[in-house]
Copies of this chain bind each other. A is one copy, B any other.
Amino acid sequence: MKRKSVTSRDVAKLAGVSQSAVSRSFSPDAKVAEKTRKKVMAAARELGYRPNSIARSLITRSSRTIAVVTYSLENPFYSFMLEKASRYFQQQGYHLQLFFAPSDNGFDTVIDDIIRSQVEGVLMLAITLDSTQAKEVADFGIPCVVINRTVNFDGISQVGSDNHSGGYWAGHYLASLGHRRIAYIAGLPNSSTDLQRKAGFLEGLAKDGLTCHAVEIGNYRYADACHATRRLFASLPSPDALFCANDLMAIAAIDTLRHEFGLSVPEDVSIIGFDDVPMAAWPSHSLTTLKQPVEFMASKATELLMAQINQVDTAPENIMLPVTPMLRSSTRRSIHHSKKSLKELSDAHHRSAR
């Protein structure tokens, strides 16, 4: 069934016009007599001709493709972003090339691949670029915007949200609720988001004269956060509040505490997340969290990228959007102490330590 590919030349022959007439007929804004275009279209339909956009890209030197690179779609925050951005670019007549960062090293290979592909722009979702890598794409004149990661290089735009303030709010708020053993479940070690959220959190704690009770790493993943929670509550005194570097981990913590430790959230432990993914609002978890303006971030990032693509001289921007505390019911309402005695907590601890 594989038909020999039919070219504009074939169509031209059938339609009795020149090859360039065919080309023109398929360009929306070209001067062609309506009559010619009709003839061409008829012939094209008969032969099943479609313009080869690779050839087109080669000569126009524009691929009308943008690359999106991400490291995982487990967090709905990023799959939402991806969908949002994709639809936007698609609407603008761009194609989207999707890359996943290899879990091992080999990210340079991906960059190389992207450059060879002649994409007109790159959108990085939560991808940490070192300055060599950043310089590499910038030197090639490929517009690039990084979402949710700070990059140590001026030539690249970034859009993110105010992680530090968010962390600060979380720390301060938990302290103001009367919590005194406040722990942290960290995201990906050394990711800028984690660093900033944590730093803000520690400051917020410090403002109330507190220090962080304990830290465990959850890598921004549900399963890892379950383990982190177990470690956190394996020794006494256990935390009475938790700040988790994203919602997915906060949800994991809630689930683990409720179902493995028999603890209540927020009665025994208050929990705050970060992102405000859709499921944070679901009544099953009703998670207090810091809302990143995901929709706005996506549109800002895509528009920024488009601007840089369309006007070569657009300067890279560094956009930091505010986060909004979403008070829900994973944090207790006011100062009071756990309804469970220390004895009970200890029992819960041993129960779960089978």
Contacts and interface: CB of A to CB of B under 8 A. Distances in A.
Contact of A312 (B2, B140, B256): B2
A283 B113 CA distance: 42
A83 B87 CA distance: 18
A117 B115 CA distance: 18
A330 to B, nearest CB: 12
Contacts of A235: none
A119 to B, nearest CB: 10
Contact of A86 (B100, B113, B118, B285): B100
A111 to B, nearest CB: 10
A73 B80 contact: yes
A338 to B, nearest CB: 21
Interface of A: 1-3, 5, 48, 50-55, 57-58, 61, 63, 65, 68, 72-74, 76, 79-80, 82-83, 86-87, 90, 95-100, 112-113, 115-118, 138-141, 155, 222, 251, 254-256, 258-260, 278-279, 282-285, 312
Nearest to A312: B2
A255 B283 contact: yes
Contacts of A61: 5
Given A99-B90, A255-B283, A116 B80 contact: no
Given A2-B141, A54-B118, 16 more contacts: A1-B138, A3-B140, A5-B61, A48-B140, A50-B116, A50-B140, A54-B57, A54-B63, A58-B58, A86-B99, A87-B100, A95-B117, A97-B97, A256-B283, A258-B283, A259-B284
Contacts of A54: 54, 57-58, 63, 117-118
